[in-house]
Amino acid sequence: MSIAVLVLLAVVTVAGAVLTPRSDRRRSPAGALFLVSVLAVAAALAWRTGRLSDAVETAGVVLAVTAAALGGGPVTTAVLRAADPDRGPDRRRASDPEVLRGGTWIGVLERTAVAAVVLAQYKEGLPVLVAVKGLGRFNELKAPVAAERFIIGTLASGLWALACVGVSVLLHS
């Protein structure tokens, strides 16, 4: 059963990378639903797994961090779209001030950092990460819509990372 969990985490990683195109136009909520479903099955299987070898636990940690990093983009985009359904990708312009530039890469780095901080059991690191991200975006957050998208995106991204790490933690218990 532990191998099935590792395979499912790998599927989330690869599917997340494939479903994270450069253009926001091609993202579908179905992809996010698929990722969430696969991660839920992985968590259920991990919960029922007994004691594992160190190699399997290490592989679980590595795959959980990569699933957090690469799988969170489509999920975060789906949450942002659900929060503001009137604001589809076709209604955006390249010069739109409400769009926070570099969000895809910042999200990947943020989810990687959240996963690493939690796995290292460094709980003080989470508020530091959010503070650093907020300071980096300070000038862009003056528009109310941008601030709202920042908060929703940060929470969705962080919760996805925590869910992925949760699978790894379940494998260890």
pLDDT tens per residue, range 75-110: 999 999 898 867 655 555 444 545 667 778 889 999
Cα 51 to Cα 58: distance, rounded to the nearest angstrom: 13
**What does the radius of gyration of the chain's CA atoms come to, in whole angstroms?**
17
Q: Is 98 helix (H, G, I), strand (E, B) or coil?
A: coil
- One digit per residue, the tens of pLDDT, for the chain of length 173 reads 789 999 999 999 999 999 886 555 556 789 999 999 999 999 999 998 877 888 999 999 999 999 999 999 999 999 998 988 676 555 554 445 456 677 788 899 999 999 999 999 998 999 999 888 888 777 777 777 778 888 899 999 999 999 999 999 998 87
Domain residues of the chain, as ranges? 2-172
Instruction: Specify the pTM.
Output: 0.86
Q: Count Cβ atoms below 10 Å from residue 135 Cβ, excluding itself.
A: 9
